[in-house]
Structure formats: C-alpha cells, structure tokens
Structure 1
Amino acid sequence: MSPILFFRFIGLRLKSLFTLSFLLINFAVFADSKEHFSVDLPLVAEHIKVLASDKFAGRGPLTQGEALTIEYLATEYQKMELVGANPNRVGESSLGHYYQAVPMAQITPNPNIMLKIGDLSLQSGADFTARTEQISEKIELDNTPLVFVGYGINAPEYNWNDYANVDVKGKTVIVLVNDPGFATQDPEIFTGNAMTYYGRWTYKYEEAARQGAKAVLIVHETAPAAYPWSVVESSNTGSKYTLVDASDNASKLPIMGWLQLAATEDIFEQSGLDYQVLKKQALSKRFRAVTLKQNVNLTLKNEISHATSHNVIAKIEGSKYPNEYLLVGAHWDHFGTKKTPSGDIIYNGAVDNASGTAGTLEMARILMAKHKVTPFERSILFINFTAEETGLIGSEQFSKGEIIATQDMVALVNIDGMNVLDEVDYILQYGDGLSEMEDYLAAATAKQNRKVKLDPRPQNGLFFRSDHFSMAKQGVPSLLFMSLGDTDPDYIAHKYHKAADDYSTDWSLGGVKQDIELMVDITETLANSSEWPKWKMPSDFKTAREVDLAK
C-alpha cells in the first residue's frame, strides 16, 4: 500500500471512530435527558414535605415562613439553570432577580369586636366576621340603617338589578351568597347551576362599594357558598393583606362581612320578617330591596403595617419568540400560624398549595431538560404567587404587567391543589366553552387515554377563586388544575383551610404524576406554536384579549 493510501485509510478509520464516539456520546446525553423527562415522584414528595413542614410555619406572607419559602423556590430554580425573570434585582439577595416585590398592607383587626343590630349582640367568629381593605385604624358603623338587597347583583345583560329604586349610600346591606341560577337550578336564570362572577363574594363587595354602601354582610349557607362556616371564619379573621393604591384604598368597601345563617334569621325575626320568605322573593328580577328598620353598630379597630411580600418568577427563554410567554403558576402561600389561648396552630397547607408549588418546580425541571435538547420557540415563565389566600394579591400585582405586558402572555396553566392520591381516568375542566385552552386540554388528555370531566360542582365558582382569574380579567386565557376534594371526599370537610392539611407518607402521588405529564404536554405544545388561544364566550375577558392582540 502506498504511503498516501495508508494515511488515507488511517484517516478514514479515525474519522469513523470519531463519528461513532460522537454518536455514542450524544446518544448517552439524549438517553440521560429522556430520564430527566420523567416525573420524579420522590423529588416532588420532598418538595411538598419541606414546604409543608412546621419549619415553614404555614408559609404566611410577610413572615419568616415567607423568607424560607421564596429562598427555597428561587434556589431550586437556580439549580435547574432557569434565570430570574425580573430585570431589576429585588433586595440585596443574590437571588433578587427571581423575586417580584408585592407591596402590601397588613391589617390586623382587634378580635374582640361585637356587632350590634337592634337588641341583638353578635359575637365575632361565632356569628359574624368583619374586616376591611381600607387603610384605616378605625372604621365605625354608627347607627347605619340596615337594608336587605337580595343577591346584591346589578347585571344589565340579565336584566337584573337588586339595587333598583333603593339608595344604600352610607348604609349596611345584607346580601345572599351565590346567584339566583343556583337557587332555582333554572338554566334560563343566569347560567343555572353554574356560578357566574355575580355569585362570588368578591363581586358582592365590589358592587356594594360602587353603590356607596358602608358595609356588606353576606349570609353564609354551606350549599350555595360551597364551603362550611369554618372556612369563612379562618379566611376572614386574623391578619389580612391587601394591595394599596394612592388613596389608601378609599374606594374599597369600608366593612366586608359575613353572617351566620342563624344570626341572620334572628335579625329578620327582630324586624318582624321571615328570612326564608324574603330569600325566595329575591329569586325574582321584580324583587325590590327591603329596609329592616334596624340600625347597625360596629367599631373595627385595626393595626396597620406596611411591608413587601414577593412573587417568585423564573424563566426558560425561547429561541425564536423570546418575548412571547407561556405562564405556569401556583400560589406558594397558606394561612401561616395562628395564635390561640391554647397555643399556636400551624396551617401547613400541604395539598393547598405546597403540592401545586412542588408541581411547578417539577415542571420546570422537566421542561428545562427538554429545552436543553431542543430549545422551545417561546419563553416559559414560572410564577409562584404570594397572598392568594387573602384575595389573589400576588397575581393581581403580576397582572399589572410590570414584569411582562399582558399582550405578551400567551396563556396560563395554574395549579391550585393536586391529586396526591392514585391515578384517575379523567381530568377536571373548570368552566365550559370559555376559551380555546379547553381544546388543548382535550387533545393532551386524549393522549393519556383519559377523558375530560366537567367540574361536577360548577355552582362553587372555582374558576373565579384562584390566581389565573387575575390574568383572565386582563384577557389572558387559562386552565385551572385543581383537585381539592375530588379524589378525597374527606378533604373539604376536615382538611381544607384547616390545620389538618398536612403532608402524608401514605400518598401515592399517582395523580400528581399524570397531571404533571399532562401540563408539560400542553405547555410544550404552546411553547412551540405560533397560536394565541382565544376566548370563546363573549365576556369582558374576550374583549380585553382582542384589544391586546390588536396592539
């Protein structure tokens, strides 16, 4: 063999060996990545266990529990090589780019308050709750007239106005929870069994404020409210938080209250009226408000402090459309620790929502592994919101667009409580015919040989009760993934918003695995798409989206 042929032969052999080595190395990397694409349930369990531990003290906003939580989340994102999504560092921490400041006021009412209506003296917690979002150390109801305004709804599109022909300025109003559709089960009245936003307690307060009322007392009944009185009490007593506007929230309702059913019946009886009769009359659009001929007295004294809580935000940057964002969210907070005469009670919130928060971390890990193999075209943003439990505060701040404009938000996948038990053959869909995100849900669910199951309790209005709703009001389509009580009937009765919501080694986490896989599929699909999901049903949400997309 000639020297030239010999060296050519050696060169070809070396080239072949190099090519083979290159292929083997890349196959090994790909195989390793494939392993990283699988849900790591022990890791998910560890995240839940840590976040729901007593050390984190119930993850209350503006507490040491918050400091531990946001550092834990930011550190985990950083270890996965996601970058902090805030271009401006928050605070002195090296993790500051992972935080979004949420300036809030903490309002702590004096628990020893009494509501006096006529000759009745009602006890705080047992008979009623009262709080405010106004930044005021003292708010008084001084002989304010009392008026029953039915459902407290003003809805022109349904030709319904409970405030017609009555002036409630400076008065206290009693309103019914939910909307008339639930009480009648008539699909021709509002949307029948499915709650509209007019049925939410947030709307009741907003509308009463627009009408000039001084206070609202919502009558609690378990079926239309969708939760027992214990949830009302735990959610509306103790320290509460609020965003603060330039007027110290002067436009907010001064007193936001709830009434126990028995106390309500006593109030009406004292006025010579039958509550149950008037409640039925309120089901007609011809109903007119009834003055109860009694005065209300209450002094609400508050301790006010201003502090800053934090959302945690991290991103995977898209390769082609880096300024178009798929959002994956879950609130990190719970109720913290409450002091009682018999000792501290820690509300660890393991399912609600340490499980959802752990879900975002695991989705971030899987999606980052996929991104390293084949980069996504769009960016994916992971957001862990603060202060969801006290009124969607963190998501409201994020929805203002200081980090990302709403016109750049493609869609949101929001997790608020996962199925920590066994796998099921369905996925719950909240709302029906709302947006094209439902089509993406159906397609991904079919791949798992599961079926989409409509929310069996649409009367609960869950679509209006989690962080995605803050974005929906700005026009961003979303999906809510929530399994509170669906696979564990005991959960709502004995664990939801109670100290018993603790981590358990008995959980199989089968449902967590299949739902994370489903959400990863939807997120990945949209991250490699040029589509912008739209709203289907005519609404303010749809209008806001159309305005954004036209920009």
Structure 2
Amino acid sequence: MRRDTDLFFIYLQKKSTDMKKLYLLIMGLIPFLLLYSCGETTEKTDIELLTFDLNIDNLERHIETLASDEFMGRMPMTVGEDLTLAYLENELSQMGIQPGNHGSFFQEVGLVTVTSKTDENLVITGGDENIILNNGSDFVIYSQLLQDEIVVEDAELVFCGFGVVAPEYDWNDYEGIDMEGKIAVVLVNDPGFYMDEDSDLFTGNAMTYYGRWTYKYEEAARQGAAGVIIVHNDAPAGYGWNVVETSWSGAKMQLDLPEGAVERSPLQGWITYPVAQQLMNAAGLDKEEMLQAALSPNFEPVPLGLKTSAKMNNTFEGGVSQNVIAIIEGSERPEEYIVYSTHWDHLGVRAPIDGDSIYNGAVDNATGVAILLEIARIVQAMEDKPKRSLVFLWVTAEEQGLLGSSYYANNPIYPTNQTVANLNVDGIFPFGPTNDLIVVGYNQNELVDWAKDIAETQGRYVVPDQEPEKGFFYRSDQFSFAKVGVPAFYAGGGTDLVDGGREVGEPLRAEYLRKYYHQPGDVYNPETWDLRAIAQDGEFFLRFGIDIANSDRWPEWNEISEFRAIRAADRN
C-alpha cells in the first residue's frame, strides 16, 4: 500500500497516545460539567447525560483491517465482500448482538454488474468540421440496458438546460420537444446554484434532487430520449472530472429489477465543460447566453444542429450482495425503531494511479463501519437498554448509486412507518477533534434541533453544510430513507479543529476531497491519523441514538421539505 507524505498525512504526527487518552477523559467529563454549570441546558433538553468509552483501539483495529489491501477495496460481489461480511458477522456474534433479519445477519440484494464498452472516440458531426472526442479525458458514455449491443445512430444533440421538469416551480426544460431519437445535453446541478442564496427558486444555492445526476437520467428516460449527456463542471458538480472518470468507467452495478421496472435511456454519459464549449461554438451559440436562457422558467430546448452515433457492447452478470443487519431490541417500545446506517463497500480494484490499483476506502467508509460496530458494542453492554429498538444496518453498493440502502428502504425488514429516524454515518475525517459539527440537510427536519443539544453535551456547536450547492444530502444512504419518508440525519465533524481552528481544518478537508476522495490514496496511516476525531463523532451518534430511543418524540420533516408529504401518507 502506498504511503503518501504530504499535508493530508503529516499534520497530525505530533499527536501522542497520551493526548488521545486525555482527550477521551475530557470528553467524558464535558457532559457533567455542562450538567452542573449550565442550568439553561438542563431546562432546554431532557438528554440523559451518560458517559461512554468509545475504544480507540477497537476503532483502529476495524479501520486498519477493513481498509487493508487484503480486503481489495471492498467491492460488492468480490472476495472483498466475502471478507467484509465474515468480519462483520464475527464481530457482531462475539458481541452477542441479535441478527436483524429473522435470525440472519444478512439481507440479500440482487445486483447486476454491467460492463459497457464503447469506441475510444466519439465523433460529433454537423459543424464546419467534425469534433473528435477522446474516451476518458473528454467523455464517458455507457448503457445500463441488459442488451449485448446498444446502438444510437445519428442522434441529434439538443441542449435541454438543466434537464428539469418541476411542476411546483412551473419549470419544464423539455417543453415542446419530442426527444425520441435525440440526445439531451444538460447542465449539472439545478438552476438554484446560479441564483442568489436567498432565492426561493430551487431552494437557492442548496441543491435539490433535481440537481443530481440520477434525477437527470431518470427524467431523460421519461422523456423518451435516446440518450442524456451531463455537462460536468467542478464547482456545481462538487467534485472534479477525475471522480467522473474513475466512477463511471469500467464495470458498474445496478439493482436486479424486473424488465421495465425502471425506465432508462439507451445512452448515458458525461462530457467535460471544455467539450461543451466546443459544441456550443460548433452550433454557433454563445455559452453564456445559453446559460442565462437555461436559468429562466421560460427556457425552451435548443437543437444544436449536431449529431453523433455510438455503439456500446455490454456484458452483464447477475449476482447477490448482502446488506448486514443487527438489532438491539428496546426495553419498553421494541416495535419502534431507530436505524443506524453506514455503507461497507468501496470501489475495489481499478486502473492503477501512481502504481496503486487498490481503492482502499479508509475514510470512505471504513470509518463509518467502525463507528457502528463500536456503538453496537457499547449499547449491547448497557445494563439498562434503550426504550426503543436500535437497528444497525451496513449497506452494500452505496458507491454504485445507493443501491443497498435503496433496496432496504423499499423492502424494509422493519416498517418505515414504525421507524422513528435514520442516523447515517459516512466518511469521517481523521484530522483531529473539532469544535463544530456539520449537518448536511440542515433545514430538512427537526432532527437538527435535537442534534444541537447533543452536540452541546460535547462542547460543540452545529453548523449547516458549508457547501449546500453540492447536494451532499442526496449523495449518501440517508437519502434512500428520506425518499420513503423516514426522517433522516447525516452529519460529521467540521473544519474548526480544536487544535488549529479553520485555518488548519479547511485546507485539510479541501485537500482530501481534491486528492484522495475516490482515489487509491484514501488509505489508513497509523502514524498520521488522529482517531480522536472518529471517537468524537462516534460518541455524538451514540448519544443521539440513545436519546431518540429513550424519548417518545417522533421527529417530523420541516414544512419546506419535499419528503414531508411522503411521511404523512406513510404514517397515516
């Protein structure tokens, strides 16, 4: 395994074991200090201020094992999955925790692995001269259809704005056009990204589901398009082209669903922003004028006068992966559930980068797996169990499009109308303990107010997602629960480090996202990681889950949330 020695890996070398122990002692005392010194806190919340010992050695053992080269990047339906499932089952069995699926720790998730290969070049015709694009550096295209050969012939390219149909905003980017036989070229994110932060349209610069690539593919299919190509741009996408290239090349997985259960366009893909500029120039259009037109609800699709053809040869193989599930039954209301979720999978083995081909997924998401194991261990050891049941769910294929959590949410073992809340843990940064806790989806539901009280017991404060335009709420497994109405919560340590503040924390976070997210460099390094950060967030989620479990409250979605009506229908 490669060991890098730049900013991400060298900052924390001065942290010692004694400092880690001192930190845990202090964190354990904070609740009592707050209890006896802050009468306002005890009046405002009914939080039971318990102390917990998240064992850093356990966290380290879990992360080091799961992110080792031996586990081969934990790709579903590989030896990496076999090793991961065996590890989780063994740990849970040793803890004496009850299996969560009628005597089994596993829930089968049918998947299909599709490998879609196309030519090295994509040729765009119709301009003064042909535009020849290179596979990987300029574009990625693929098909999810379970067919040996998919051909799109002389398909006209149509600029369809953001590819959004949103009746509540009187918005239709496909107004007045028949997309049969055509390819929609659409911008990433939604119109709100380019508007004032306080705009009511598309919730301002906070991404809605209309901005996610999954929605754009779904909508183009509903429109009958032969294809859909998303224009990538780093800022509105929230990640660089390297993430697109690595995530959307090679084999991809999808749920094994009956034919016709999901509409899909034959061709799906991405192009870089410079390529989009080339297309606009070839069509005699000004890119800035097209962007401004796309920001209007009166936008109409613009045929570019350009065409392309593509042939994709697919091979596909069905198989079964597993969600892992365990339960600690509530002492008084066992039929009411709080579901902890995290994903166990990562990207497996792919094309080497600087000689390293194993995408180990240490931060993403061996950290989350470890935290849930530690929470389960601690709760199982409690003499007085929480009043409501705690469900622990390690889902598969998050990296392939939230597939495992989507399957569970639509095939729940525990009814969604009896599930009080979902607490999702994903990608905890190991830069050291923080003063702040970032809540993603800050304005979605009442859980954020509850979380503020929990964070206060740690001496922390809660802040909204600092990059709402990137749509992180729709990019992890809590979204699958939200889609079926369950109030869902996703948070993690922020950038205001206890040691160094934002001046140190923000560059560290930015560097991880730029250089290590979904790259082979996401590895565990015991010499540089500060596991106190993992313990701190783990303690938060432990306290939060127990407090919800001991309460009789049912958190609700806020009025502005698109999930409120779904919950109301499910609960009624």
CA distance in 2, matches of 1:36, 1:366: 11
Q: Which residue of 2 aligns with 1:488?
A: 509
Once structures 1 and 2 are overlaid, which stretch shifts more, 413-422 or 336-345?
A: 336-345
**CA RMSD, 1 decimal:** 2.0
Q: Which residue of 2 aligns with 1:302?
A: 314
CA distance in 2, matches of 1:342, 1:519: 37
Q: Which residue of 2 aligns with 1:91?
A: none
Q: Which residue of 1 aligns with 2:456?
A: 446
- The answer as to whether partners of 2:110 and 2:320 remain within 8 angstroms in 1 is yes
CA distance in 2, matches of 1:429, 1:341: 33
Q: Deviation of residue 45 (structure 1)?
A: 0.9
Which of these residues, 379, 385, 388, is aligned with residue 389 of structure 2?
A: 379
Once the two structures are superposed, what CA deviation does each residue of 1:134-170 show, in whole Å capped at 9, x if it has no partner?
A: 2222211111111001111111111211111122123
Which of these residues, 202, 227, 235, is aligned with residue 239 of structure 2?
A: 227
Q: Which residue of 2 aligns with 1:321?
A: 333
Which of these residues, 79, 89, 98, is aligned with residue 64 of structure 1?
A: 79
Q: Which residue of 2 aligns with 1:80?
A: 95
CA distance in 2, matches of 1:135, 1:344: 32
- The answer as to whether partners of 2:105 and 2:326 remain within 8 angstroms in 1 is yes
Q: Deviation of residue 463 (structure 1)?
A: 0.4
Q: Which residue of 2 aligns with 1:519?
A: 541
Pair 1:221–1:342, CA change in 2 (3 A): closer
Q: Which residue of 1 aligns with 2:37?
A: none
Counting only pairs closer than 5 Å after superposition, residues 453-492 of structure 1 correspond to structure 2 as 453-482=463-492, 488-492=509-513
Counting only pairs closer than 5 Å after superposition, residues 113-152 of structure 1 correspond to structure 2 as 113-118=120-125, 119-152=130-163
Which of these residues, 99, 109, 113, is aligned with residue 106 of structure 2?
A: 99
Q: Deviation of residue 206 (structure 1)?
A: 1.1
Which of these residues, 419, 422, 442, is aligned with residue 412 of structure 1?
A: 422
CA distance in 1, matches of 2:327, 2:141: 40
CA distance in 2, matches of 1:247, 1:82: 38
- The answer as to whether partners of 1:217 and 1:259 remain within 8 angstroms in 2 is yes
- The answer as to whether partners of 2:113 and 2:316 remain within 8 angstroms in 1 is yes
Q: Deviation of residue 339 (structure 1)?
A: 4.3
Q: Which residue of 2 aligns with 1:3?
A: none
Pair 1:231–1:104, CA change in 2 (3 A): same
Q: Which runs of 5+ in 1 are unaligned?
A: 1-33, 89-96
Which of these residues, 191, 200, 204, is aligned with residue 212 of structure 2?
A: 200
Counting only pairs closer than 5 Å after superposition, residues 504-543 of structure 1 correspond to structure 2 as 504-505=525-526, 506-543=528-565
Q: Deviation of residue 341 (structure 1)?
A: 11
**Given residue 78 of structure 1, which amino acid in structure 2 is its aligned partner?**
S
CA distance in 1, matches of 2:329, 2:148: 45
Q: Deviation of residue 185 (structure 1)?
A: 2.9
Number of aligned residues: 507
CA distance in 2, matches of 1:368, 1:37: 12
Asked if 1:238 corresponds to 2:250, the answer is yes
Pair 1:159–1:142, CA change in 2 (3 A): same
Pair 1:341–1:108, CA change in 2 (3 A): farther
Asked if 1:178 corresponds to 2:189, the answer is yes
CA distance in 1, matches of 2:310, 2:166: 30
Larger Rg: 1
**Given residue 538 of structure 2, which amino acid in structure 1 is its aligned partner?**
I
CA distance in 1, matches of 2:50, 2:559: 41
Q: Deviation of residue 37 (structure 1)?
A: 3.2
**Given residue 407 of structure 1, which amino acid in structure 2 is its aligned partner?**
N
CA distance in 1, matches of 2:493, 2:171: 34
- The answer as to whether partners of 2:157 and 2:183 remain within 8 angstroms in 1 is yes
Q: Which residue of 2 aligns with 1:109?
A: 116
Identity %: 40
CA distance in 1, matches of 2:105, 2:458: 34
CA distance in 2, matches of 1:546, 1:281: 37
State the SS of the aligned residue for 2:338. Answer: strand
TM-score by length of 2: 0.85
Pair 1:170–1:251, CA change in 2 (3 A): same
Q: Deviation of residue 121 (structure 1)?
A: 2.4
Q: Which residue of 1 aligns with 2:65?
A: 50
**Given residue 55 of structure 2, which amino acid in structure 1 is its aligned partner?**
D
Once the two structures are superposed, what CA deviation does each residue of 1:366-422 show, in whole Å capped at 9, x if it has no partner?
A: 11122xx10222111111110001100000110013422211211111011113121
Once structures 1 and 2 are overlaid, which stretch shifts more, 234-243 or 261-270?
A: 261-270
State the SS of the aligned residue for 2:57. Answer: helix
Q: Deviation of residue 358 (structure 1)?
A: 0.8
CA distance in 2, matches of 1:210, 1:235: 24
CA distance in 2, matches of 1:249, 1:401: 15
Once the two structures are superposed, what CA deviation does each residue of 1:420-478 show, in whole Å capped at 9, x if it has no partner?
A: 12111110011232111112111101111211011111111100000110010000011
Q: Which runs of 5+ in 2 are unaligned?
A: 1-48, 496-505
Pair 1:341–1:42, CA change in 2 (3 A): closer
CA distance in 2, matches of 1:540, 1:342: 44
CA distance in 2, matches of 1:397, 1:231: 25
Pair 1:425–1:484, CA change in 2 (3 A): closer
- The answer as to whether partners of 1:417 and 1:481 remain within 8 angstroms in 2 is no
Pair 1:36–1:158, CA change in 2 (3 A): closer
Q: Deviation of residue 539 (structure 1)?
A: 4.0
CA distance in 1, matches of 2:426, 2:433: 17
State the SS of the aligned residue for 1:301. Answer: strand
Q: Which residue of 2 aligns with 1:20?
A: none
- The answer as to whether partners of 1:135 and 1:249 remain within 8 angstroms in 2 is no
Q: Deviation of residue 254 (structure 1)?
A: 2.0
Q: Which residue of 2 aligns with 1:426?
A: 436
**Given residue 503 of structure 1, which amino acid in structure 2 is its aligned partner?**
Y
Q: Deviation of residue 526 (structure 1)?
A: 1.2
CA distance in 2, matches of 1:327, 1:129: 36
State the SS of the aligned residue for 1:489. Answer: helix
Q: Deviation of residue 36 (structure 1)?
A: 9.6
**Given residue 461 of structure 1, which amino acid in structure 2 is its aligned partner?**
G
